[in-house]
C-alpha cells in the first residue's frame, strides 16, 4: 500500500512538473515574440492591433480603438509572469498613449480599454494614478447607462454602419466585458453606483440575450423610452439566429466575472450554461478551436476564430475555480491546440504576434484569418492563470 501511495504521489508530482514546465515554455516563447513586437511598436510609437492584407502591422486608431488596451495589457501579463521591469516600462508607455480616452462618451468600450491596461497595472503595482484613470473611465462609461432599459448603450447610431441598421439603443453581448471595470471602480472607491449599473446590465442581458439552447444573440436593440426589445439581431455573426463564436466567449467570460464580484448564483448558472453550449457543441473540430460562427454556412470550409478560443480558455480557467463542474479537459484541449504550431507562430514570424488564425468581422470583410492583439492578450491571461 505504502509503495502504491508513493508511486501515485510521484506520478502526480511528475505530471504537475511537466505541466508547469510546458506552461513556462509557452510563456517564454510568447515573451520572445513580444520582445520583437514591443521593438516594432516602440519604433512606430503606436499600438499594434493586427496585420493588413499587405502583410504590414496594422496599428490602432489613435483617436480611439476598442483594442488599444490589449497590447499594454499583454505587457502587464508578461511582467506578472517574468518580473522583468522591461514589460512594466512597455505597458506604462503604451497605455499612456490613450490615457486621454478615459473621457470618451461615444462608445461602451472603455471597460475593455482601461481594465485590461490600467486595471492590470493597478493590480500589479498599486499605483494610485492608475486607480484614478480607472475610476474616471468608469464615470464616463456610466454616462451611457439608461435606467429605462437597464443597460449601457453599446453603440451610438448616428453615424457609420450602425446608423444604417435602424437601431435605437443597441446592446451587444460583448458589452458584458465592460462590467469588470465598473465592479472594480466600486471596490476601489467604496461607491456602489458603478456596481449597481453593472448588475442592472447583467440582469437585463440575462433576460433578453439568451436562447433556449444557451447561445446568445449578438445585438439586442431596445426602445430607450420604454425599455422594450425592438430587434434581436447580429452584427458580426452569420445570421440573426446564429451563434457568433466570439460573442459566446464574451458572455461566458462576462458572467464568470459577475459571479466573481457578486457571488450571485444566477450568474454562475448562466456561465455554466454558456460553457455547456460551447464545450458540448457537436460541430466544433476535435482541436477545440471553433469556427467563427457555430452556424457558419460552409463548415468545414470556414475560418476558425482563435480569439474566441483564447477568451473561452481564460474564462473556463476562472469558472473551473467556482464551479462543481470539471472544465479542465476542455481547457487542456484548447490550450494544447493554441500552443501547437498550427496556431502559435514561430518566433520572428507572424509580424511578431503570438497567435495566428483569428477573425475580426466576416460580415464587414474585416480581419479574416489574421493575428489579433486580443487573441494574444487572452492567451497570455490564460497562461498566467494556469501558472498561478
Ligand atoms: N466588439 C468586440 C468584438 O469584436 O469582439
Is residue 337 exposed (0-12), middle (13-18) or buried (19+ Cβ within 10 Å)? Answer: buried
Mean of the pLDDT values across residues 373-381?
99
Q: Which atom of ligand 1 is nearest to the CA of 360?
A: 4
Q: Measure the CA–CA gap between 379 and 81, rounded to whole angstroms.
A: 13
Residue 28 bears catalytic tag: no
270-328 pLDDT, tens digit per residue, is 999 999 999 999 999 999 999 999 999 999 999 999 999 999 999 999 999 999 999 99
With vertex at residue 181, the alpha carbon angle to CA 178 and CA 51, rounded to the nearest 5 degrees, is 55
What pLDDT does 17 receive? 46
**Phi, psi (5° rounding) for residue 232?**
-120, 105
With vertex at residue 320, the alpha carbon angle to CA 31 and CA 309, rounded to the nearest 5 degrees, is 50
pTM: 0.95
Q: Which atom of ligand 1 is nearest to the CA of 374?
A: 5
206-258 pLDDT, tens digit per residue, is 999 999 999 999 999 999 999 999 999 999 999 999 999 999 999 999 999 99
Pocket test for ligand 1, best of 66, 111, 160, 293 (most atoms within 8 A of CB): 66
- Which residue, 219, 252, 220, is CA-closest to 236? 219
Is residue 327 exposed (0-12), middle (13-18) or buried (19+ Cβ within 10 Å)? Answer: buried
Q: Is ligand 1 within 6 A of the CB of residue 367?
A: no
Beta bridge partners of 361: 366
Is residue 4 exposed (0-12), middle (13-18) or buried (19+ Cβ within 10 Å)? Answer: exposed
With vertex at residue 42, the alpha carbon angle to CA 39 and CA 46, rounded to the nearest 5 degrees, is 125
Residues 6+ apart with CB under 8 A from 54: none
Q: Measure the CA–CA gap between 275 and 301, rounded to whole angstroms.
A: 25
Beta bridge partners of 358: 370
Q: Is the pLDDT of residue 1 over 70?
A: no
With vertex at residue 28, the alpha carbon angle to CA 23 and CA 32, rounded to the nearest 5 degrees, is 150
Copy the grid coordinates of residue 206: 440575462
Determine which one of 28, 40, 139, 174 is catalytic.
174
Amino acid at each position: 500500500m505504502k509503495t502504491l501511495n508513493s508511486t501515485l504521489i510521484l506520478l502526480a508530482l511528475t505530471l504537475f512538473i511537466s505541466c508547469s514546465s510546458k506552461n513556462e515554455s509557452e510563456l517564454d516563447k510568447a515573451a520572445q515574440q513580444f520582445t520583437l513586437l514591443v521593438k516594432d511598436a516602440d519604433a512606430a510609437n503606436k499600438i499594434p492591433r493586427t496585420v493588413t492584407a499587405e502583410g504590414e502591422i496594422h496599428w490602432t486608431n489613435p483617436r480611439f480603438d476598442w483594442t488599444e488596451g490589449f497590447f499594454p495589457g499583454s505587457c502587464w501579463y508578461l511582467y506578472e509572469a517574468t518580473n522583468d521591469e522591461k514589460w512594466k516600462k512597455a505597458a506604462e508607455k503604451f497605455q499612456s498613449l490613450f490615457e486621454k480616452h478615459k473621457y470618451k462618451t461615444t462608445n461602451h468600450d472603455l471597460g475593455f480599454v482601461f481594465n485590461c491596461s490600467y486595471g492590470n497595472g493597478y493590480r500589479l503595482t498599486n499605483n494610485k494614478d492608475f486607480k484614478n484613470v480607472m475610476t474616471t473611465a468608469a464615470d464616463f462609461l456610466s454616462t451611457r447607462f439608461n435606467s429605462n432599459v437597464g443597460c449601457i448603450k453599446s453603440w451610438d447610431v448616428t453615424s457609420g454602419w450602425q446608423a444604417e441598421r435602424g437601431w435605437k439603443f443597441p446592446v451587444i453581448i460583448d458589452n458584458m466585458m465592460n462590467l469588470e471595470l465598473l465592479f472594480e471602480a466600486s471596490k476601489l472607491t467604496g461607491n456602489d453606483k458603478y456596481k449597481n449599473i453593472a448588475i442592472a446590465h447583467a440582469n437585463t442581458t440575462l433576460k433578453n440575450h439568451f436562447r433556449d439552447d444557451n447561445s446568445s444573440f449578438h445585438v439586442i436593440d431596445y426602445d430607450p423610452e420604454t425599455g422594450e426589445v425592438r430587434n434581436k439581431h447580429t452584427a458580426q455573426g452569420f445570421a440573426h439566429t446564429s451563434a457568433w463564436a466570439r460573442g459566446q466567449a464574451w458572455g461566458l467570460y462576462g458572467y464568470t466575472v459577475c459571479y466573481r464580484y457578486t457571488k450571485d448564483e444566477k450568474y454562475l448558472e448562466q456561465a455554466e450554461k454558456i460553457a455547456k453550449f460551447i464545450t458540448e457543441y457537436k460541430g466544433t473540430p476535435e482541436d477545440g478551436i471553433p469556427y467563427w460562427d457555430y452556424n457558419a454556412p460552409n463548415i468545414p470550409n470556414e475560418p476558425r476564430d482563435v480569439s474566441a478560443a483564447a477568451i473561452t480558455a481564460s474564462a473556463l480557467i476562472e469558472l473551473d475555480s467556482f464551479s462543481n463542474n470539471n472544465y479542465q479537459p476542455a481547457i487542456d484541449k484548447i490550450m494544447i491546440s493554441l500552443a501547437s504550431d498550427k496556431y502559435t507562430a514561430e518566433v520572428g514570424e507572424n509580424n511578431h504576434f503570438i497567435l495566428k488564425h483569428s477573425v475580426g468581422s466576416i460580415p464587414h470583410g474585416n480581419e479574416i484569418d489574421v493575428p489579433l492583439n486580443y487573441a494574444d492578450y487572452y492567451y497570455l491571461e490564460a497562461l498566467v492563470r494556469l501558472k498561478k
